[in-house]
Structure formats: C-alpha cells, structure tokens
C-alpha cells in the first residue's frame, strides 16, 4: 500500500524527484501529465498549492497537485501522475481518494484510457474537454490582413504587462483559468527559458490602445505553440483574431519550427472553426472530470 504525504511546498530535492517522475510518465505516454501551471507551483516558495506524494518501498510512485486557489467557478483543480513502473498497483486510486473531494475537478491530459477507467470506477464524469490541435507550417502562410489603423509590434518587458492583463481579462472573462492571469503571472513567465518578447505580438490601434495579442511559445526546435490569442471585445468581429494568429504562425515559421500546436475548448465552436479553416487538425484532448 502506498504511503501518502501532504506538503504545502516542495523542497528543491522533492521538486527534482517529482520532475523525474513526470518526465518518465511523459516519455511513456507521449504527453505531459501536468500542465505548465503545476510546474511553476512546484518551485520553492510557490503558494496556493497542496502537493501529495505517494511512496512504495521508499520510491516515489505517484504525485498529485491541488490548486487550492481554484478556478473562476470556485473549484479546486487537481492533476496527478503515476510512475510507469508503479501503475496498476492502486497508486492512482489512492491519490484520487486522498484529494479534497468537495468542488473537485481533475485533469487527465491526453485523455489517457487508464484515467477514463479510474474516473468511471470512482464516480467521476467528463465535464470539460480541451482539444489539442496541430498544423504543419512548412508551406507558405497567407499574409495577415490587419484592420485599418491597427499595427503590430513585439511586447516590451516592464512596459506592456498591465495592458496585456487588462485585455486578457476582458477577452477571457468566461474562462476558468486564463481570465485570472495577473501581472505577476506574466512577469513569472518572462523568467522562463522559453520566453521571447519577439514572439509576443501586440496589436495597437492608431489611438495606441491595445486591441489584442498573440503570445507564441517555442517548445523544441521543431515544435511551436499558439500559446494565447486574446482580442479585446471592442475589437472583435473585424478579423483581428485571424490576423494575429497568422502573424504568430509566420513568426514561428521564421524561427524554423515545422509544426505548431494549440489548445482550444471543445465547446468553443467558433474558435475551432477558425483553426480548422487555417489547416489545424485534432491531435488529442485533455479531459476534466468531476463528480
């Protein structure tokens, strides 16, 4: 039986040990078992989390993270992983049963079949699906057609954070996670190795008002990401979202990536339609479960 231990904060050694478990799970499954936000919360000094470690015979067999701040609906959000060597030994079930159950949502990245079976066994149902789509960008991409009076320039650290957060909140006030992005969140990501201000494209009106942005991300030499595309509601409906998307794709293409991925809510049919018309196809999906 797994030994379970809760922590409000991980030590450097614990974070490294969990990192090795996550890497092993990703290598086996082909998809990261936790999202970027969890990895940021694993750093010493990070707050707002509960970390659950499961050990078998002195070896780390499983890890679960609970976001105690929660999403905009007041739900606590959990993500977990079991080391491939210790699967089908009850570790995953023990982790889930130990989580705070009231208002709990659990992500299963990549829609892993074992997660689906465990969810059904424990009385959870699918409540949300996040599609991952991808596009080969080896061919020429159309020129972005910006609305009249709109120009694009790169993000300037120390200058543009507040404007981006304001537009992001207006664009994603409906979104459980994205809409709550803070200036501190932006600054924390500026410290990440992947951050590139040249790939953070801001669209301004001729009145110097931020109308929208496309934040791109490069994962590997061959893989980039449409990280966030946000358009202020006052600027929606004029083609700015498509133009920003194309501008970011062309930037990633110039960086030499061969493929670009993105995440989009399955029920956001308008966005899925836009990305499909641009040539994106379904890769896999993350599924969120709740009782």
- Binding-site positions read 36, 177, 217, 225, 229-231, 236-242, 263, 268-273
Three-state SS letters, the chain: CCEEEEECCCCHHHHHHHHHHHHHHHHHHCCCCCCHHHHHHCCCCCCCEEEEEEEECCEEEEEEEEECCCCCCCCEEEEEEECHHHCCCCHHHHHHHHCCCCCEEEEEHHHCHHHHHHHHHCCCEEEEEEEEEEEECCCCCCCCCCCCCCEEEECCCCCCHHHHHHHHHHHCCCCCCHHHCCHHHHHHHHCCCCCCHHHEEEEECCCCCEEEEEEEEECCCCEEEEEEEEECHHHCCCCHHHHHHHHHHHHHHHCCCCEEEEEEECCCHHHHHHHHHCCCEEEEEEEEEEC
- List the binding residues for acetyl-CoA: 229-231, 236-242, 268-273
């Amino acid at each position: 039986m797994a030994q379970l231990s809760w922590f409000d904060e991980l030590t450097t050694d614990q974070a490294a040990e969990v990192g090795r478990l996550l890497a092993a799970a990703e290598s086996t499954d082909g998809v990261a078992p936790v999202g970027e936000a969890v990895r940021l919360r694993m750093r010493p000094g990070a707050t707002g989390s509960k970390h659950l470690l499961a050990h078998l015979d002195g070896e780390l067999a499983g890890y679960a993270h609970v976001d105690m701040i929660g999403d905009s609906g007041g739900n606590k959000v959990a993500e977990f992983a079991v080391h491939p060597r210790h699967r089908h030994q009850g570790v995953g079930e023990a982790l889930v049963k130990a989580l705070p159950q009231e208002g709990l949502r659990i992500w299963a990245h990549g829609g892993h079949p074992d997660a689906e079976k465990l969810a059904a066994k424990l009385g959870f149902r699918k409540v949300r699906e996040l599609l991952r789509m991808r596009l080969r960008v080896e061919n020429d991409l159309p020129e972005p057609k910006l609305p009249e009076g709109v120009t694009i320039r790169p993000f300037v650290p120390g200058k543009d954070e507040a404007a981006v957060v304001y537009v992001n909140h207006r664009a994603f006030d409906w979104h459980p996670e994205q809409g709550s992005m803070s200036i501190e969140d932006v600054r924390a990501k500026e410290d990440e190795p992947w951050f590139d201000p040249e790939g953070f494209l801001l669209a301004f009106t001729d009145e110097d008002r931020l109308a929208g942005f496309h934040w791109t991300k490069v994962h590997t030499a061959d893989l980039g990401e449409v990280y966030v595309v946000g358009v202020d509601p006052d600027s929606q409906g004029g083609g700015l979202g498509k133009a920003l998307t194309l501008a970011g794709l062309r930037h990633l293409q110039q960086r030499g990536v061969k493929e670009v991925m993105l995440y989009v809510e399955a029920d956001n049919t308008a966005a899925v339609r836009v990305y499909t018309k641009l040539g994106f196809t379904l890769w896999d999906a993350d599924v969120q479960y709740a009782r």
